[in-house]
Structure 1
Amino acid sequence: MATISLCMIVKNESAVLARCLDSIADLMDEIIIVDTGSTDNTKEIAAQYTSRIYDFKWTSDFSAARNFSFSKATMEYIYTADADEILDDANRERFLRLKDALLPEIEIVQMKYVTQGTFDTVLNAKKEYRPKLFRRLRTFTWIDPIHETVRLTPVTFDSDVEILHCPQSLHSKRDFSIFIKAFEHDGQFSPKIRTMYAKELLKTGDKKDFTDAKPIFQLIFDNDPADDARKEAACVLARIYRMEDNKNEFFKLTMKDMLTTPCAEICYELGTYFVGQRDYAEAVLWFYNAAYETESILDVHTSGDLPLLGLVECYETLLAGEEAKIPSDTALTIQYEMMLDKYREASRDWRMPEET
């Protein structure tokens, strides 16, 4: 049976830490807790489960804290957990079976991350695989019978373990400040961090968050040659220009997007703009394109429930206007009623994708 070190970084997690550790502590061979500056009784709670508690000065760098926690591990594998995660009874059994059968050549184990409730900042599905279990020391192996080379790609196993993510609140405000500091320090984002920042903005950002992000994504749009970088930046900037009521820049940007492969985010922004102008017939066109003719690149809701609900609201408004002017049995009113029923049903039945 493989041996496993649990490595966690925590800060002010007194409300959820015991819940997490109660679900996984007995599955681990050692528990390492790295505290990055708690002012509550997080460390006292952690001490009920382990004596391996370390302080680490927070530097707005999760990687630095993770690396420090890994440096304290001594077992064959390292399991990373956040304090707002839980393993239920069924997945505890799956974890035990995995631990018992884990082959030594496996270097990374992925587990399904399941977000419950409304506090989903970046996921576009209810479940997604994430790397959670890592071999502490990697063995390099020569491969290929001729022109031999060292295998550099890790051996990864997709397990059936599902981790329940049960946060008590959003972390986006903390994340936004870290994104900005990282950009100020490095002058650029990795593609992963750029995408994560754009996703969190579109899903949870307020006016100030978008204002703070504007110079960063304007720089990306103007200077990054990668198509995906410019598309993601355009989605963020379109939201900003609409919020600023900067019609000239808004339409310059959205029309440029139409010259490429349009995305649902831009179509949804156009629909929302025309709702603000009370041009509901035009809004219907763009909401329809968001829901049925394009795909999301950042937020799956912009090709799902959001434009469907926009269609419902537009048809309700149009129907109410027509009812004030013409008899309820006219062909136009009947058409509106049929379309309204259709989109009510579609918006009610839309669900987040189960897995990615």
Structure 2
Amino acid sequence: MITISLCMIVKDEEATLWNCLNSAKDIADEIIIVDTGSTDRSREIASEFTDKIYDFEWVGNFEPARNFSFKHATMDYILWLDADDVIMEEDQKKFLELKKNLDPSVDSVSMIYNYGFDEYGNVTLSFRRNRLVKRSKNFQWEGDCHVYLVVSGNILDSDICVSHKRVHHSTGRNLAIYEKRLENGDEFSPRDYYYYGNELNENGLYERAMNAYETFLWMEGGWKEDKIAACSRLADCYGKMGMFDEQKEILYKSFEYDVPRPEACCRLGTILSNEQNYESAVVWFERAIDYEPDKGNWGFTYKAYSTWVPHQNLCKCHYYLKNFEKSYEHNEIARKYRPEDPGILHNKKLLEDKLNL
């Protein structure tokens, strides 16, 4: 059986830290906490689970803090989590089985990161990350704000999930990191421009976000999955600015990188539906449902766009096309995912009255 060091960096995480550590305590053989300046109860909470708590002065980015935490690991493998992550009970069992049976020739184990959830508990955003890495390989973190672990060798893709249970999101802090780099005259990589655009977007700075996304998309290099995601995010910015022709064009541009993804299909369907071009909208929403994801894809998966979102929109389109039975069928499928959604329940009553059900 392998041994595992859990390495974390924290700052003012009292709202989530206990749940995170409690979910991982039976998996980790040691827990290492690097505190970057907490003023709340984070250290007190961490001390319930470990005495290996280290101070690290915040220097404006995450890379050195992450790498500092890894330096203190002593076990065979290193597991990393954020304070607002949890390992659910079913995944804890899978993790313990992995720990018993993992081939020591494996250099890294990737896991599914369920990052977003709706109010009914449905996963809305997921992607893979290298989550458990062999300590002897000395893999390092790179970047500043949205850091990434540089991994190579024998990588095992597992079905274990880590769930992100966000309480707050320090968008202002992340944006400040990028702004400071710009002030210092740092040269941005394609990846930097993509994530800088995301931070601007989340802070409502849409025109500047559009510029960052456009710069990224027309640069050489950059991960294909980031390019596809940037097209969708840029389309949203265009929509908010009333630039609807540009919105359509950038969604079509996403097809240059791969087959039409559900996110782009649903956005195009929504545009056409708003134009009352319901028959054409139906084509795009159906295409979103029929999309077959590549199991080896490490990109972002927005499950809502292949499940309840297109079905709810198909309910609307078929209603206006007077295909009431189809409208009802799609609403019922959407209701399986969101059983208490007021809009879906309203549609159910309306269509049952229409069909005399």
Return the TM-score normalized by structure 1: 0.68
Q: Deviations over 1:213-255 (max 9, x none)?
A: 2111111233447794655443333222222112453355456
Q: Shift in Å at residue 5 of structure 1?
A: 2.1
Q: Is the 8 A contact 1:265 1:290 kept in 2?
A: no
Which residue does 1:308 correspond to in 2? Answer: 311
User: Is 1:292 aligned to residue 279 of structure 2?
Assistant: no
Q: Which has the larger radius of gyration?
A: 1
Which residue does 2:332 correspond to in 1? Answer: 345
Structure 1 residues 52 and 121, CA, compared in 2 at 3 Å: closer, same or farther? farther
Q: Deviations over 1:143-193 (max 9, x none)?
A: xxxxxxxxx952334456x455251435373686278559844422339x9
Which residue does 1:325 correspond to in 2? Answer: none
Aligned pair partner of 1:208 in 184, 204, 211: 204
CA distance in 1, matches of 2:305, 2:55: 42
CA distance in 2, matches of 1:251, 1:159: 37
Query: What is the SS of the residue equivalent to 1:65?
Result: helix
Structure 1 residues 165 and 257, CA, compared in 2 at 3 Å: closer, same or farther? closer
Q: Is the 8 A contact 2:5 2:79 kept in 1?
A: yes
Query: What is the SS of the residue equivalent to 1:285?
Result: helix
Q: Within 5 Å, give how 1:144-293 maps onto structure 2.
A: 153-158=152-157, 162-165=160-163, 167-169=165-167, 171=169, 173=171, 177=175, 180-181=178-179, 184=182, 185-190=186-191, 194=194, 208-224=204-220, 228=224, 231-253=228-250, 262-276=260-274, 279-280=275-276, 282-292=277-287
Structure 1 residues 262 and 85, CA, compared in 2 at 3 Å: closer, same or farther? closer
Q: Is the 8 A contact 1:85 1:163 kept in 2?
A: no
CA distance in 1, matches of 2:122, 2:190: 19
Structure 1 residues 43 and 49, CA, compared in 2 at 3 Å: closer, same or farther? same
Query: What is the SS of the residue equivalent to 1:190?
Result: helix
Q: Shift in Å at residue 70 of structure 1?
A: 0.4
Q: Shift in Å at residue 306 of structure 1?
A: 2.2
Letter in 2 for 1:177: L
Structure 1 residues 273 and 18, CA, compared in 2 at 3 Å: closer, same or farther? same
CA distance in 1, matches of 2:40, 2:223: 46
CA distance in 2, matches of 1:116, 1:255: 26
Q: Is the 8 A contact 1:273 1:283 kept in 2?
A: no
Q: Within 5 Å, give how 1:124-139 maps onto structure 2.
A: 124-125=125-126, 130-138=129-137
Structure 1 residues 341 and 29, CA, compared in 2 at 3 Å: closer, same or farther? closer
What is the count of residue pairs matched by the alignment?
A: 312
For structure 1, which segment, 30-39 or 174-183, has the greater mean C-alpha deviation from structure 2 after superposition?
A: 174-183
- The RMSD of aligned alpha carbons is 4.2
CA distance in 2, matches of 1:109, 1:167: 22
Letter in 2 for 1:11: K
CA distance in 1, matches of 2:287, 2:45: 50
Letter in 1 for 2:154: V
CA distance in 2, matches of 1:255, 1:48: 53
Query: What is the SS of the residue equivalent to 2:45?
Result: helix
Structure 1 residues 246 and 117, CA, compared in 2 at 3 Å: closer, same or farther? closer
Q: Is the 8 A contact 1:113 1:164 kept in 2?
A: yes
Which residue does 2:148 correspond to in 1? Answer: none
Q: Is the 8 A contact 1:110 1:159 kept in 2?
A: yes
Query: What is the SS of the residue equivalent to 2:190?
Result: coil
Structure 1 residues 221 and 104, CA, compared in 2 at 3 Å: closer, same or farther? closer
Return the TM-score normalized by structure 2: 0.68
Q: Shift in Å at residue 46 of structure 1?
A: 1.4
Give 5+ residue unaligned stretches, structure 2: 139-150, 294-298, 339-357
Q: Is the 8 A contact 2:19 2:86 kept in 1?
A: yes
For structure 1, which segment, 104-113 or 171-180, has the greater mean C-alpha deviation from structure 2 after superposition?
A: 171-180
Structure 1 residues 284 and 60, CA, compared in 2 at 3 Å: closer, same or farther? farther
CA distance in 2, matches of 1:230, 1:25: 38
CA distance in 2, matches of 1:227, 1:104: 30
Q: Within 5 Å, give how 1:99-114 maps onto structure 2.
A: 99-114=99-114
Structure 1 residues 232 and 216, CA, compared in 2 at 3 Å: closer, same or farther? same
Query: What is the SS of the residue equivalent to 2:51?
Result: coil
Letter in 2 for 1:189: P
